[in-house]
């Protein structure tokens, strides 16, 4: 069954600019920024005092309070987004088909907030005050585990942990499971909740975060000459992937067809990308080859575009290497000016943005791109959305450790 086709039939979002896919898309089109001063904890001593926080999130809208108390926030986000994605797809898992529906949800860091709280409890009160659910709350695979418990999905279940590429890798793995015949449907994506003292402090120590605290909404500046680091974000993006006939038989709405996945390693450095973008270029080529798509057929790339000095130049070089002359005809944008960098959730949220761009034939803009870096000389759709006829779209994610993941989607046509 290697020729099985895979389609996207549902999407769920918990993000700094909206808690549904409709709110998320409206935020992208309106140029809304989810970045503000951190109010989760006291940031007086931190060089970076800003983040893209999820606000007004009520977990009891999605899961019972008793169950939520045994979940770290990153798991709560995943369960909420999965619930919305299932509703959007109008997918109900029947007991006789439960073993053919799986879950694959990645997280870059896992339950950091739980670690901090329980470590404090131990130091202040003693080890007997550690929550009995401490370990199952913090481990990164628990988002996938809890989503399967919530939905009844008994098929393949896993969690890919590849830093900022976790969401894209997880979707790619889910896609391959359906394509190879090991599942008929997968609930897949990424989730993260690392806007915590240790999370912000750790990235500050790396000097990876923007310190433009005076104007939070302008701090995330992908491809701009005056960018000074990324802005931490949080949330979850979950997609429902289905084998084509499975989706058609139940009359599902199809947003797009997922046709290619590429993954590679830089084998270069723990936190710095290969400056020439060779690893990213390899992932682009792998995804295009699997999709059977020529570089000149691609219309739009939702870029990783973090707003760090190294990533944006490297990513531009990778695109130019793979797409050649066509790279200057491509539309490329980063939505991290809206959402910040959602780490393990970024790839999933950005594939959702790409799928909605394909649906509406509108490319979301790169916010805060005012003075382009001369070494970043592609069309990054600055400041405002742009209408464009889209047929084939890509999304790429590049993570610490040199992990690269690229996904290709196209408008669904039954006869292709």
Residues forming the active site: 164, 304, 341
N residues, the chain: 416
Integer Rg of the chain from CA: 20
CB 302 within 8 A of CB 261: no
d(CA 148, CA 185): 12
Residue with tokens 């923007």: 210
Torsion over CA of 249, 103, 364 and 333, rounded to 10 degrees?
Answer: -130
CB 389 within 8 A of CB 282: no
Q: Of 239, 223, 222, give the one whose Cα is nearest residue 231.
A: 222
CB 143 within 8 A of CB 107: yes
Non-local (6+) Cβ contacts of 212 within 8 A are: 50, 218, 219, 228
Q: Of 89, 13, 108, give the one whose Cα is nearest residue 54.
A: 13
Q: Of 407, 13, 398, 402, give the one whose Cα is nearest residue 176.
A: 407
Residue 254, token pair as written in the block? 């199809």
Beta-strand relationship, 256-265 and 235-243: unpaired
d(CA 317, CA 320): 5
């Amino acid at each position: 069954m290697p020729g099985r086709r895979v389609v996207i039939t549902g999407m769920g979002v918990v993000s700094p600019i909206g808690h549904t896919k409709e709110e998320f898309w409206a935020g992208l089109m309106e140029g809304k920024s989810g970045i503000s001063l951190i109010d989760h904890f006291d940031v007086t001593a931190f060089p970076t005092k800003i983040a893209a926080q999820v606000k007004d999130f009520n977990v009891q809208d999605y899961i019972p309070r008793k169950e939520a108390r045994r979940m770290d926030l990153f798991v709560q986000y995943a369960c909420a987004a999965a619930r919305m994605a299932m509703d959007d797809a109008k997918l109900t898992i029947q007991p006789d088909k439960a073993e053919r529906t799986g879950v694959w949800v990645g997280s870059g860091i896992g339950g950091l907030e739980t670690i901090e709280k329980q470590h404090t409890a131990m130091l202040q009160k003693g080890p007997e005050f550690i929550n009995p659910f401490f370990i199952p709350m913090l481990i990164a695979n628990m988002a996938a585990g809890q989503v399967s418990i919530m939905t009844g999905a008994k098929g393949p279940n896993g969690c890919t942990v590849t830093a900022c590429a976790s969401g894209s890798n997880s979707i790619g793995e889910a896609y391959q499971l359906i394509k190879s015949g090991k599942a008929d449907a997968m609930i897949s994506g990424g989730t993260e909740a690392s806007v915590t003292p240790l999370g912000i402090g750790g990235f500050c120590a790396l000097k990876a975060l923007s310190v433009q605290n005076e104007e939070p909404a302008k701090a995330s500046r992908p491809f701009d000459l005056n960018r000074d680091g990324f802005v931490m974000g949080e949330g979850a993006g979950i997609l429902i992937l289905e084998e084509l006939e499975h989706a058609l038989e139940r009359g599902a709405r199809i947003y797009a067809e997922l046709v290619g996945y590429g993954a590679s390693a830089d084998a270069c450095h723990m936190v710095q990308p290969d400056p020439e973008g060779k690893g990213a270029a390899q992932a682009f080529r792998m995804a295009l080859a699997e999709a059977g798509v020529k570089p000149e057929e691609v219309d739009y790339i939702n870029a990783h575009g973090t707003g760090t000095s190294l990533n944006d130049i490297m990513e531009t070089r990778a695109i130019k290497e793979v797409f050649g002359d066509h790279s200057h005809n491509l539309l490329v944008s980063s939505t991290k000016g809206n959402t910040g960098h959602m780490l393990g959730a970024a790839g999933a949220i950005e594939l959702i943005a790409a799928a909605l761009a394909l649906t509406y034939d509108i490319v979301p803009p790169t916010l805060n791109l005012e003075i382009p870096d001369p070494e970043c000389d592609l069309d990054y759709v600055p400041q405002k959305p742009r209408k464009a006829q889209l047929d084939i779209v890509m999304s790429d994610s590049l993570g610490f450790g040199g992990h690269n993941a690229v996904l290709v989607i196209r408008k669904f046509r039954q006869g292709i």
